[in-house]
Amino acid sequence: MSDKSIENREDIMEKLVSLAKRRGFIFQSSEIYGGLSAAYDYGPLGVELKNNIKKAWWKMFVTDRQDMVGLDAAIIMSPKVWEASGHIKNFTDPLVDCKKCKRRFRADHLLEAVPLSPQHDKEKPIDWKEVKCPECDGELTESRSFNMMFKTFMGPVEDDASEVYLRPETAGGIFVNFTNVVDSMRMRVPFGIGQIGKSFRNEITTENFIFRTREFEQLEVEYFVHPDDWKKHFEDWLETMKTWCKCLGIKDENLVLAEIDEKDRAFYSKRTVDFEYKYPFGQKELYGLAYRTDYDLTQHQKASGLKMEYTDPVTKEKYIPHVVEPSLGVDRSVLACMIEAYTEVAGGRSTTTESIKDSEVVMKFPYALAPIKVAILPLSKKETLTPLAHEVYDAVRSKFVTMYDQTASIGKRYRRQDEIGTPFCVTIDFDSLEDKKVTVRDRDTMEQERVAIEKLVEYLVSKFAAYEKC
Gap between the Cα atoms of 319 and 293, Å rounded = 12
Asked if 209 is part of the footprint of ligand GAP (rule: CB under 6 A), the reply reads no
Asked if 340 is part of the footprint of ligand GAP (rule: CB under 6 A), the reply reads no
Find the helix packing angle between 12-22 and 330-341, rounded to 10°: 110
Asked if 339 is part of the footprint of ligand GAP (rule: CB under 6 A), the reply reads no
Gap between the Cα atoms of 98 and 182, Å rounded = 51
Distances 69 to 53, 65, 182, 314 between C-alpha atoms, Å: 18, 8, 10, 22
265/397 with CB nearer ligand GAP: 265
332/364 with CB nearer ligand GAP: 332
Q: How far is the CB of 138 from ligand GAP (least distance, A)?
A: 27
# of chain residues touching ligand GAP (CB under 6 A): 18
Report residue 332: phi and psi, to 5°: -70, -30
Asked if 203 is part of the footprint of ligand GAP (rule: CB under 6 A), the reply reads yes
Gap between the Cα atoms of 188 and 180, Å rounded = 13
269/351 with CB nearer ligand GAP: 269
Find the helix packing angle between 456-467 and 386-397, rounded to 10°: 50
Q: How far is the CB of 337 from ligand GAP (least distance, A)?
A: 13
One-letter amino acid for residue 146 of the chain: F
266/457 with CB nearer ligand GAP: 266
User: How many alpha carbons lie under 13 Å from residue 121 in its C-beta half-sphere?
Assistant: 4
Candidates 288, 366, 378, 423: give the one binding ligand GAP (CB under 6 A).
288
Report residue 19: phi and psi, to 5°: -60, -40
- Of the candidate spans 70-78, 183-191, 322-330, 409-417, the one that interacts with ligand GAP by CB under 6 A turns out to be 322-330
Asked if 332 is part of the footprint of ligand GAP (rule: CB under 6 A), the reply reads yes
Distances 142 to 93, 109, 126, 130, 145 between C-alpha atoms, Å: 13, 15, 9, 11, 10
215/344 with CB nearer ligand GAP: 215
DSSP state for residue 270 in the 8-state scheme: S
Asked if 293 is part of the footprint of ligand GAP (rule: CB under 6 A), the reply reads no
DSSP state for residue 138 in the 8-state scheme: -
13/131 with CB nearer ligand GAP: 13
Cross-strand partners of 275? 257, 287
- Of the candidate spans 283-291, 348-356, 375-383, 425-433, the one that interacts with ligand GAP by CB under 6 A turns out to be 283-291
Q: How far is the CB of 360 from ligand GAP (least distance, A)?
A: 31
- Of the candidate spans 211-219, 296-304, 349-357, 427-435, the one that interacts with ligand GAP by CB under 6 A turns out to be 211-219
Asked if 287 is part of the footprint of ligand GAP (rule: CB under 6 A), the reply reads yes
Strands 191-200 and 215-225 come out as: antiparallel
Q: Which residues contact 194 (CB under 8 A, 6 or more apart)?
A: 58, 61, 62, 68, 69, 70, 71, 219, 220, 221
For the chain, state the CA radius of gyration: 26
Q: How far is the CB of 286 from ligand GAP (least distance, A)?
A: 6
Asked if 218 is part of the footprint of ligand GAP (rule: CB under 6 A), the reply reads yes
Classify the phi-psi angles of 468: left when phi > 0, otherwise alpha if psi is within -120 to 50, otherwise beta.
beta
Candidates 327, 422, 432, 439: give the one binding ligand GAP (CB under 6 A).
327
Binding map of ligand GAP across residues 124-163, x = CB under 6 A, - = no contact = ----------------------------------------
- N-term to C-term CA, the chain: 33
Asked if 238 is part of the footprint of ligand GAP (rule: CB under 6 A), the reply reads no
- Of the candidate spans 42-50, 209-217, 296-304, 311-319, the one that interacts with ligand GAP by CB under 6 A turns out to be 209-217
Candidates 50, 87, 201, 373: give the one binding ligand GAP (CB under 6 A).
201
Asked if 285 is part of the footprint of ligand GAP (rule: CB under 6 A), the reply reads yes
Q: Nearest to ligand GAP by Cβ — which residue? A: 329
Asked if 171 is part of the footprint of ligand GAP (rule: CB under 6 A), the reply reads yes
Candidates 79, 321, 329, 348: give the one binding ligand GAP (CB under 6 A).
329
Strands 402-404 and 92-97 come out as: unpaired
Displacement of CA 466 from its chain's centroid (Å): 25
Cross-strand partners of 428? 378
Candidates 52, 195, 213, 254: give the one binding ligand GAP (CB under 6 A).
213
Q: Give contact residues for ligand GAP (rule: CB under 6 A).
A: 169, 171, 201, 203, 212-213, 216, 218, 220, 285, 287-288, 325, 327-329, 331-332
